[in-house]
Amino acid sequence: MKFIHTADIHLDSPLCGLASYQNAPTQQLRGASREAFTRLIDAAIDEAVDFMVIAGDLYDGNWRDYNTGHFFVREMGRLNQAGIPVFLLYGNHDAESEMTRRLTLPANVHLFDSRKPMTHRIEALRVALHGRSFKDAATTENLAAGYPDPLPGWLNIGVLHTALEGYAAHARYAPCSLAELQAKGYDYWALGHVHEYAMLSESPWVVFPGNLQGRHIREAGPRGAVLVTASEAGVQGVERLIVDVLRWERLQVDVSEAADLPAVLALAGRALELLLLAQTGSWPLAVRVNICGRTPAHGALFGLEAQLREEILALASALGGERLWIEKLKLETTAALGAEQIGARAGAIADLQALLAEVPQDADFMRGLAEDLQQLTAKAPLELIEALPEFKAIRVGDVAAIVATVAPALLAQLAHAEQGQP
């Protein structure tokens, strides 16, 4: 016997805001959640699974129109024609309190009640699925505590949308403990709500499949569902079923050895090339690039974040065409010479460091600096204002962060130049 366990599909969610990113692959983002779900349905039919479990957050709140519901009904119809039943539990995003639109679902889709826990039985397989849907989005009671006892001699599956414990990044809906689930006597817990894949236990099996398609950089790496195999002896194995169509990745580029901007770009290009070579499929990549390291180029890079992004976008286009998109570039380098090393040296640079260290405590100086910078930014062209995020802080008179950033970069550049280097 085989079944698919999936959750956190969030149909049509990638439409929300992502298309506003510069140079974003809008068409790919627009259809990513649907295409990933279609791939899952294809896999279910190809594998001839006995049933599918959806453990909550099928939708992403109320539909903008009926097309979202029509798409789901159509995909369920494909499973119905293949003789594959589906057991659907509603989570916080598709709770009854969140949904105002409904469509009649095909006969193969079986819902879990939101008023009390219920059990669906598959007599031919001697499988019992226990679960309870969310009635309200903010369900903070322990739903698992009321789940029925396991049926003796059957394969018992608990379906639950929960933050469980220890997942601070997720709202604590339907909270319960892992020990509590293990003590229930079920063979498998099909969980949802946490978007990262996690196998928390094998005795019994307690599994978060993760979400089906990454929607932003916080959901990086491969995404999909799980394929579970079982026999009369119980669950035999769980394997990931990767179906995402666009993948988010973080790329750390260490530029410690770079002396200038061209050297930084060369290292970034090589890192992007290696990232592409490491892929085992041809899915598009949305990449956040972090330029980091203690580098002689630190001072030379100050204020060039916008230019760096454009240069790296060009590198990405040359290497990957439409397959590679730079979601964001973050410049997180530090000076090759630390404050202690500069301070230990005699001369004008050490004196300048001491002076700069006192600047943040000089209220009159900081106020005058803010006023001068505000006058400067008022005359700046629009493209420069948009290119430098520091301008937003200047407008509200917050120059402390700018001083803290500029001072080390200035000292590093001067010290670098003093040593006779470019």
pLDDT of residue 163: 86
Average pLDDT in the 15-39 region? 74
Q: Is the dihedral of CA 66, 69, 73, 74 positive or negative?
A: positive
- Across 42-51, 86-95, 344-353, 355-364, the highest mean pLDDT is recorded for 42-51
pLDDT score of 378 more than 80: no
Percentage of the chain lying above the pLDDT 70 cut:
76
How far apart are alpha carbons 19 and 417 in whole angstroms?
43
pLDDT score of 346 more than 50: no
pLDDT of residue 391: 65
pLDDT score of 152 more than 80: yes
Please give the CATH architecture assigned to the domain spanning 2-242.
4-Layer Sandwich (3.60)
- Average of per-residue pLDDT values in the chain: 83
- Smallest CA-to-CA distance from 352 within 421, 408, 404 is with 408
Q: Of 93-102, 166-175, 270-279, 334-343, which gets the smallest average pLDDT?
A: 334-343
How far apart are alpha carbons 118 and 248 in whole angstroms?
38
pLDDT of residue 241: 97
Q: Where are the domains of the chain?
A: 2-242, 247-336, 337-422
Q: What is the pLDDT of residues 230-265, one digit of tens each?
A: 998 899 999 999 999 999 999 999 999 998 889 999
The reported pTM is 0.79
pLDDT band at 407 (very low <50, low <70, confident <90, very high): low
Query: How far out from the chain centre does Cα 298 lie?
Result: 29
- For 73, list phi and psi in degrees, rounded to 5: -60, -40
Q: Which residue has the higher pLDDT, 397 or 147?
A: 147
pLDDT of residue 271: 96
How far apart are alpha carbons 338 and 354 in whole angstroms?
14
pLDDT of residue 422: 47
Residues in CB range of 190: below 8 A, 6 or more apart: 5, 7, 53, 55, 157, 158, 159, 160, 207, 209
pLDDT of residue 381: 66
pLDDT score of 100 more than 70: no
> E strands along 283-336, which residues?
285-295, 324-335
pLDDT score of 394 more than 50: yes
